[in-house]
Amino acid sequence: MEQQHLTYKEMTDFGCFYTPQKFIDKLIDMIKLNINDYDKYIYLDSSCGYGAFLKSLYPYKTIGCDIDKKAIEIAKKIYPNSEYYVLNTLNNFTRKSIHLEENDKLIIIGNPPYNDTTSKVKNDIKKASPCVIDNDIKTRDLGISFLLSYNKLKPDYVAVLHPLSYMIKKANFELLNPFYNNYRLIDHCIINSQEFNMTSRTKGFPIIIALYKRCSNGLKYSDVLDMNFKTIDNKTFNLRHDYIRNYISKYPSRYKRYKNGDILFFTMRDINALNRSRTFIEDFTDNSIIIEKEKFAYYCYVDIFKDYINQLPYYYGNCDVFINNAEFTVIKDIFITRSIEKHPWLKQKISYKTDNRYELIDKYFQKLFNV
Ligand SMILES: C[S@@+](CC[C@H](N)C(=O)[O-])C[C@H]1O[C@@H](n2cnc3c(N)ncnc32)[C@H](O)[C@@H]1O
């Protein structure tokens, strides 16, 4: 059932985008496939909304919590067979809060809210921090805090949906170290965020339906880089690419001072951010990278890559721009020519060799993107 009782602003603050049933079914199939005695566990959804996950786990023992009293009232009506608590599960939340013993066999399930308070999307309506969060799990993203809160309850398994970026972006992975030190991914499946109602206003990003098992040697970032990910429609991908960060700096340098004649480029984040942002810019701002002229071709590469993003599957949205450097080097003059055609004011700032064989760029990206 779709969330109905909150305004769009309230929904964004608390990350209240309810999960489509087919993804709940997929998660439960994964549990049944991988855990032999799955009927012997207590299932906890600590951000349960209307209790869609709990309802789908009938007849097993379930507990649902939510900070939203109204949601819990509705959950009780829809599925009275579960225990419920109105609780902020990011604040002093322990097994005791829901009357569980330390040795109760526990699986945490659900779809916690994701709400990156620093991200640009919908920032105008997001609050910096919508609820009190314990210091040891406080981060800039509500979803990361939720994963950290699970670790404190020491469940045997964690079976949840979360943005793939929590795992594949090194900075996020490091924030999640306390969790990943104790949990290993034993099954997963990647889906497109656009399949959630309401969030489809921007380009989709990958969400992982993840089944984690508690163990003493958890997940390392090097394991993630080696992983083969699979999507719900049976495509596979991995992160073993060569990335633009190996050739140029993605962020402004604190040490460089802007001089007349410098060429400026907008800060680069991931592919989805590049899709929304500018590339070459004329006026200096805090977000400007002052480029090294001998690296100019690589910036043209990013500028042209942006034009091909719509051909790239959604699951690369949180990756850096990738590159086949050997092939690019052979045709870099074509990238420069095309980029200068897009930004004619660059002409006075750089000398270059015109090469108009644009069809070679099409071919390059077809091969790089595997399309
Ligand atoms: C993405 S919804 C998921 C709801 C449900 N699990 C589903 O998928 O249909 C996230 C839920 O988290 C709840 N929530 C947000 N912050 C919370 C907090 N600090 N403690 C408990 N629940 C919270 C919201 O009220 C919302 O119902």
pLDDT band at 17 (very low <50, low <70, confident <90, very high): low
Residues 201 and 220 in one domain: yes
Closest Cα to atom 27, ligand 1: which residue? 49
Q: How far apart are CA 295 and CA 249, in angstroms?
A: 10
pLDDT at 326 over 50: yes
Residues 233 and 253 in one domain: no
Atom of ligand 1 nearest to the CA of 19: 8
* DSSP letter assigned to residue 42: E
User: Which of these, 336, 344, 357, lies nearest to 294 by C-alpha position?
Assistant: 336
- Domain enclosing residue 37, as ranges: 8-237
Buried/exposed code over 236-253 (b: 16+ C-beta within 10 A; e: otherwise): ebebebeebeebbbbebe
pLDDT band at 264 (very low <50, low <70, confident <90, very high): very high
- Helix (H), strand (E), coil (C) string for 209-224: EEEEEECCCCCCHHHH
∠ Cα 157 163 169 (to 5°):
100
* DSSP letter assigned to residue 320: P
Residues contacting 42, CB < 8 A, separation 6+? 60, 61, 62, 63, 100, 104, 105, 106, 107
Write down which residue in 174, 208, 237 finishes a domain.
Answer: 237
Q: Tell me what pLDDT residue 286 has.
A: 87
Residue 2 lies in a domain: no
362: which 2 tokens?
Answer: 């099409």
Q: How remote is the CA of residue 363 from the centroid of ligand 1, in Å?
A: 45
pLDDT at 344 over 80: yes
Residues 35 and 172 in one domain: yes
pLDDT at 277 over 90: yes
Pocket residue to mutate for ligand 1, from 44, 45, 47, 50, most atoms within 8 A of Cβ: 47
User: Which of these, 18, 101, 8, 34, lies nearest to 61 by C-alpha position?
Assistant: 101
Write down which residue in 237, 269, 294 finishes a domain.
Answer: 237
Residues 177 and 246 in one domain: no
pLDDT at 128 over 50: no
pTM exceeds cut of 0.85: yes
- Across all residues in the chain, what is the average pLDDT? 91
Q: How remote is the CA of residue 68 from the centroid of ligand 1, in Å?
A: 8
> Is any atom of ligand 1 closer than 6 Å to the C-beta of 18?
yes
Q: How remote is the CA of residue 112 from the centroid of ligand 1, in Å?
A: 6
pLDDT above 90 covers what percent of the chain?
Answer: 81
Q: How remote is the CA of residue 220 from the centroid of ligand 1, in Å?
A: 28
pLDDT at 6 over 90: no
Looking at the structure of the chain, the number of domains it has is 2
